[in-house]
Structure 1
């Protein structure tokens, strides 16, 4: 019995410890196999449907539409799906904007997306999904095309922070930088697929319909199902670091708790997809599926860090040599985290906010306690920045 317990204890330690060194391991693999970035190919503009979804709140819609209309691109239409919204104050003069208000409450991202698809004004070749609190950089669609033109059917852009007004927003931005760098750039460069981020992503309309049209997804996590369906077909999701959307970060503790409760809930709900992809990858000899499956099995950042700390503390009393290995693992993780910040466009304010990480983790622990009623607490994140503040932010970032 003791032998079984020791074996299980060592196995759990190995699994959690692997997550600490995985970022540097992924960086090493990506460095070995990285290919040259493809050049933009001038040619005919592909026809895009830009789907903007809103639930309950419409305060930021005029700003997001204004930023989209400034795209250096002409062949697109904007479909705003205002689900359960008051649209009396929404007026758009451009004929590129199609305002849709479903007759019944949808309360689902994918239901809103397919409501837009069923109301397309023409047969679009590609679609891209933008949140109602996002803003887009003028070359967004052109940069997406660089990878579509290479044969990819699914691409993920980068979501940069639109606001860094509080410690919570800055730490949220730091977290995004870390995940974009490893789960986006390095994972794709290593020969697998970038993970999807919920917005700032684009697909051929045919692939999106093939993956999700027969599924009715409620609650958070449609992007988790979508990425699994794409990689299950052994297609790769490209990461496009130049396709930039500006995403509003959580600036208040109540926002953070509600949002993270939904996100953590989706990991517990969908991490099993990782096993499916690993088994498929082994059967298909697919590096794309195997590596992506490993990433899907990884717990949220704060969970494996806390578990690792606990295991290191226990080993201080039962096996100091193993405790030293844990310390080395944490050094490797911190090194990887710093590399992600240094090699990205990191605002100096983010560095000054890192001292607030313990408080940030504390609120995520509160989120963990609320995961089983996560989708009941809120199905969308309310933001609190006025359009004037948003325009000021864009001017500062020289968009």
Structure 2
């Protein structure tokens, strides 16, 4: 084999490695349609499991009263709320309900998991389960009840849905569209075809024992603790369930600079942790474990805009090198677009999101700009600063 053949082989392998990402969501949808079965939840009455609700805040506490008000409206009684106000002024965080515990670390933690374990080490009682909520979230009143349905089936880790709280700007609406796409394919479909839902950073719950087992021995800084956590969970042989009706309302990015900084951190975490996928794929093959294999495949996938832009480059280059392959790429994009639209249609998407789709090129442009900040992404901020004024609680 000469050097030209080797280059050609590498080129083909590269195209396959990128191109499968265009059609994999649609293949998951087809598989889901084939194996789809209605999950029968155990409806027998059980004592309420004891939850610790951990709310983390960094520098900003503006939205904390709203999230606490939302949590206190839960149709549930057996829980305590732990607010970890890292590097925050807590003088205004006064709550009459004794179920709300405000914790102000003596030293700056600058880490999600440090904040979580700061709360865990100060639990007022031995909570059976914990759920993680961001300081900009609101929750559906039935949030814990819906999580319980999956825990009662024997799962130890559950991811809920992060629905858009604000769709008032182009960026927020497009961010909401992205979340719908990922929740559908990386959440609902992955779980229902026998693998695990990916974790989304908040709106997720675990048995306290599993969370401590997975992360208690690690000191994680910067963004991406959820990437490490999901790898640890799946590696141990657990599946992460998806609770389609356990809803948290999440603040979406509303400004371009906010979008760039946030995506820079997210892209940084992919480059940092995507290699986890190789290990899980290997374990899946040798252990004949479908959950590990498919989940590992998902972890290798680049951020959406990256593989779309690389795919577009491959298609245009093949117009010169190999028109037949260019046609294959075109068909791949058609399949991807169909899958994207189906995800929106199946989820009864808000009309404002459909109207925002014309802005996708602008959205991608700002994410390309975020690539310039990837190397120092975690130095810009350890949390997204929000500017949307919350006018009501759910």
Whether these two folds match at TM > 0.5 is: yes
Contact 2:159 2:205 in 1 (8 A): yes
2:154 alignment partner in structure 1: 151
Q: Secondary structure of the residue that 1:372 maps to in structure 2?
A: coil
Contact 2:158 2:206 in 1 (8 A): yes
Q: CA deviation at 1:384?
A: 1.1
2:212 alignment partner in structure 1: 209
Q: Secondary structure of the residue that 1:146 maps to in structure 2?
A: helix
CA RMSD of aligned residues (A): 0.8
Q: 1:49 aligns with which of 52, 63, 83?
A: 52
TM-score scaled by structure 2?
A: 0.98
Contact 2:265 2:378 in 1 (8 A): yes
Q: How many residues are paired up?
A: 391
Deviations 1:212-253, CA, capped at 9 Å, x for gaps: 000000000000000000000110000000000000000000
1:37 alignment partner in structure 2: 39
Q: Secondary structure of the residue that 2:376 maps to in structure 1?
A: helix
1:330 alignment partner in structure 2: 333
1:58 alignment partner in structure 2: 61
> Could you tell me how far apart the structure 1 residues matched to 2:336 and 2:87 are?
43
> Could you tell me how far apart the structure 2 residues matched to 1:150 and 1:198 are?
23
2:240 alignment partner in structure 1: 237
> Could you tell me how far apart the structure 1 residues matched to 2:126 and 2:46 are?
20
Contact 2:67 2:136 in 1 (8 A): yes
Matches within 5 A, 1:369-380: 369-380=372-383
2:355 alignment partner in structure 1: 352
1:271 alignment partner in structure 2: 274
> Could you tell me how far apart the structure 1 residues matched to 2:38 and 2:153 are?
12
2:4 alignment partner in structure 1: 2
> Could you tell me how far apart the structure 2 residues matched to 1:8 and 1:345 are?
42
Query: What 5-or-longer segments of structure 1 have no aligned partner?
Result: none
1:306 alignment partner in structure 2: 309
Q: Secondary structure of the residue that 1:218 maps to in structure 2?
A: coil
> Could you tell me how far apart the structure 1 residues matched to 2:141 and 2:256 are?
32
> Could you tell me how far apart the structure 1 residues matched to 2:196 and 2:32 are?
12
1:381 alignment partner in structure 2: 384
Contact 1:40 1:143 in 2 (8 A): no
> Could you tell me how far apart the structure 1 residues matched to 2:137 and 2:348 are?
18
Deviations 1:69-118, CA, capped at 9 Å, x for gaps: 00000000000000000001111110110000011000000000000000
Query: What 5-or-longer segments of structure 2 have no aligned partner?
Result: none
> Could you tell me how far apart the structure 2 residues matched to 1:131 and 1:28 are?
34
